[in-house]
Amino acid sequence: MDEREGDDLLDELVALVVQRLDQGVRREAVEAELCQQGLPPADASWCVQRIVDARHQARSQRGTKDLVLGAVLVLIGSAITLGTWAAAGPGGTYFVTWSALAFGGFYILRGLFLKITTGANVSTTVGWLIASAILLGGAVGASIVAYNSTVGSEQSASSPVQPAVPPDSAALWTEDEPTTTAAGRATFSGRVNNLDREWSISKAKAQVTVYDAAGRQIDQFEIAVSPVTMPPGGEGTYAATRLVPASSDTYGTEFSWEWAFR
């Protein structure tokens, strides 16, 4: 057998070993098949071992590349997120590079998987694992801090704390003297001023009670204030003309309303 034929045979044996290992055939079975091809047992074991070692080394190198690529992506994503967050300030707009962080995390996890499954040095693998955990944890933590410091501040600014309900004295009611006509019709009017600076007055109304000379109630009705809602510092009025009983003598008015924040 000349040298060229020997190289061709070696290439065929290497291809056979790679094919069988890719098919999931056990190493012992592959060595036995090589022996059937005429290779001595020691040479068959050496050949399979060399190919297994080469495959493990290639997977380990690929794992290292994935780890480095993942770390670079996470660092770039974190830098962009933190940089735009610092420039935005509270309530500003910034960018969270989720794609870079997600792909970086994927490559890091795949790199760790390749390292672990190829039997890489334990201390090296543990070191990569700790560094990856710190890197990913820092990136996620930075994104959360950025969110809470910008979006959270913006939400707080857009939802101010509700102050205490103002006292009744902040609604100043002015009642006009009722006017009556010979036809037995009476006109009731007045106004309300909102003296508060933060709360609005809504659903305000005047309830008029009619009494006779003996002080007995003989009629009662409500008059709505317009507008329905009076903003801080605003004013509303009411007016109505009613036909009252001939025995009417005096009138009493009670006011009611609701406070609404802004």
Give the pairing type, strands 217-224 and 229-230. Answer: unpaired
Tens-digit pLDDT profile for residues 162-217: 788 999 999 999 999 898 887 889 999 999 999 999 899 999 999 999 999 898 99
Report the pLDDT value the prediction gives residue 56, as an integer from 0 to 100. Answer: 79
Contact assessment for residue 251 and residue 214, using Cβ atoms and an 8 Å cutoff? no
CA distance 205 to 221: 10
Mean pLDDT of 91-117: 80
Q: Calculate mean pLDDT across residues 106-129.
A: 75
- 227: helix, strand or coil: coil
**Percentage of the chain surpassing pLDDT 90?**
27
Number of H helices, E strands in the chain: 5, 8
SS (H, E, C) 78-139: HHHHHHHHHHHCCCCCCCCCHHHHHHHHHHHHHHHHHHHHCCCCHHHHHHHHHHHHHHHHHH
- In terms of average pLDDT, the best of 15-24, 92-101, 190-199 is 190-199
| Residues 6 or more apart in contact with residue 90 via CB below 8 angstroms | 149, 150, 153, 154, 157
- Class of 168-261 in CATH: mainly beta
Using an 8 Å Cβ cutoff, are 100 and 80 in contact? yes
156 — pLDDT class (breaks 50, 70, 90): very low
Q: Residue 229 pairs with which residues in a beta bridge?
A: 202
AA letter at 74:
V
Beta bridge partners of 254: 207
pLDDT at 16 over 70: yes
Average pLDDT over residues 106-132: 74
Quote the pTM value: 0.43
Tell me the domain boundaries of the chain: 9-156, 168-261
Q: Which residues pair with 250 in a beta bridge?
A: 211
Is pLDDT of 154 > 60?
no
Long-range contacts: 175-180, Cβ < 8 Å, 24+?
A: 175/206, 175/253, 178/251, 180/244
